[in-house]
Amino acid sequence: MSTTVLQHTATDWGIVAVFATVYLGMFLGGLPRLKLDRSGVALLGAIAVIALAGLPVEDAARAIDLPTMVLLFAFMVVSAQMRLGGFYGAVTRRVGAMPLSRNGLLAALIGVAGALSAVFSNDIVCLAMTPVVARLCLQRGLNPLPFLIGLACAANIGSAATLIGNPQNMLIGSVLQLPFTGYVRQALPPVVIGLLLLWGWLAFGPGAMGGANARGPRPRPLPEGAGAGEEPAFDLWQTAKGLVVAGALMLVFLFTDWPRDVAALVGAGVLLLSRRLHSAHVMGLVDWPLLILFMGLFVVNHAFESTGLAAQAVAWLGVQGVVLSDPGPLLVASAVLSNLVSNVPAVMLLLPHLGGSGEQAGVMLALVTTFAGNLLLVGSIANLIVADLARQQGIVIDWKRHALTGIPVTLATLTVVWAWMRLVA
């Protein structure tokens, strides 16, 4: 391998340097002394490799997986429609109004968050539900920590149930051409078990994460309606419109072989045809930085693959007996990379080395990279959204408090994935 490595050009090593810098930015969330977030780092990385390699813009564009981008954009529009219709908040308030015990309410909210995240964006579900859950706990005199941490973890776990629940699953499904129904059939059991384990830990785990009398941070009460301006009022027509489109898309995905990206794009177009919701409002909720992140990483990874170094490294690992497509190495690599550079970049790094590995490798990659997001507070955007919105309500979720749930739940759910994939193999 060393002789082959020496044959690489200065351009190749320049691309490697850019690649390493970009993924350092993924790890740090930006670059030191520069006002750049992950999306900015990915964009500048793409510009750098295009310039270094003299890569024609047309070739750079072809490196981007367009079906993934279209599917991601379309479901951002669907999720935006549901949020502007006040659907998420209305559902949460309806659950909160039910005469449930503390553990019953916790189970209901975990179930709702998990189910919604399987169809809509888990990040938007957390964005809409967090303020409502926080106020609900304050009104009931409950310690909000288990409910808010449970919301974030449930949204992550639930989003793994389908190939549209989160961005990394959309990418995996598109690149590996996974069948939607076949994926759901394999992913749903570990997702359901994972949600049950999460509820069991939060309901019966350490006392510090318990109910109203548990030790823990005491949030300051806020005036009635504080922060409510962020939550749109419930609109039955707009909600019904979004639900019809989402339901139709699920039927198309489950029972037809129509291209998912085309069907989703048509659904988004239907939602944009509105006399009441301005398209600018809907587009304002589209996560454009995430789309830029995807495009930038596609280009950077394509340039890195063209150097041949990635293939050589994987071949060397294979000689040592470590085959990335095998269940054990794939689980470890997926979990570790997801917490080092985040789940989307981790998937982009691993996907090129799973070609021909079959459907099960794709299912494992999707489940592990999603479940691993619960390990640390910074492991997923959903966690950070909940923590940020909770802080606005006077509730502090730091990494230690999150780790009390995140670490055991992640280890348990990854064990479930390992056992389940071996069972169905």
Asked if the model's pLDDT at residue 210 lies above 80, the reply is no
pLDDT at 214: 43
Residue 354 in contact with residue 365, Cβ under 8 Å? yes
More confident residue, 138 or 224: 138
> For 297-303, what is the mean pLDDT?
93
At 28 the pLDDT is 87
pLDDT digits over 190-208, tens only? 999 999 999 999 999 874 4
Say if residue 217's pLDDT is above 70.
no
Name residue 172's amino acid. Answer: I
Residue that wins the pLDDT comparison between 280 and 195: 195
Give burial (CB, 10 Å; 0-12/13-18/19+) of 355.
exposed
Average pLDDT, the chain: 88
The answer to whether the beta carbons of residues 159 and 165 sit under 8 Å apart is yes
pLDDT of residue 222: 41
Q: Above 50 in pLDDT, residue 423?
A: yes
Report the alpha-carbon distance of residue 417 to residue 363 in Å, rounded: 10
Q: Is the pLDDT of residue 53 over 60?
A: yes
pLDDT tens-digit profile of 64-98? Answer: 999 999 999 999 999 999 989 999 999 999 999 99
From the list 304, 312, 316, the residue with the least C-alpha distance to 348 is 304
The answer to whether 76 touches 292, Cβ cutoff 8 Å, is: no
Q: What is the 3-state secondary structure (H, E, C) of 322-356?
A: CCCCCHHHHHHHHHHHHHHHCHHHHHHHHHHHCCC
Task: State how far the Cα of 155 lies from the Cα of 141, in Å rounded to an integer.
Answer: 24
Instruction: Tell me: pLDDT of 51 over 90.
Output: yes
- Per-residue confidence (pLDDT) for residue 276, from 0 to 100: 84
What is the pLDDT, as a whole number, of residue 209? 53
Residue 423 phi/psi, 5° resolution?
-65, -40
The answer on pLDDT for 34 being more than 60 is yes
CA 257 to chain centre: 25
pLDDT digit string, tens, across residues 98-143 = 999 999 999 999 999 999 999 988 888 998 899 999 999 988 889 9
- Any residues with CB less than 8 A from the CB of 400 and at least 6 apart, and which? none
pLDDT tens digit sequence for 231-271? 678 889 999 999 999 999 999 999 999 999 999 999 999 99
For 111-169, the DSSP string reads HHHHHHHHHS-HHHHHHHHHHHHHHHHHHHT--HHHHHHHHHHHHHHHHTTSTTSSHHH
pLDDT of residue 168 exceeding 60: yes
What whole-number distance in Å separates Cα of residue 376 and Cα of residue 114? 19
**Helix 144-159 and helix 381-392: axis angle, to 10°?**
150
Helices and strands, number each (H, E), in the chain: 21, 0
Q: What is the pLDDT of residues 354-394, one digit of tens each?
A: 866 678 899 999 999 999 999 988 888 889 899 989 988 88
pLDDT digits (tens, 9 = 90+) for 301-358: 999 988 888 888 888 888 888 888 888 899 999 999 998 888 889 999 999 888 666 7
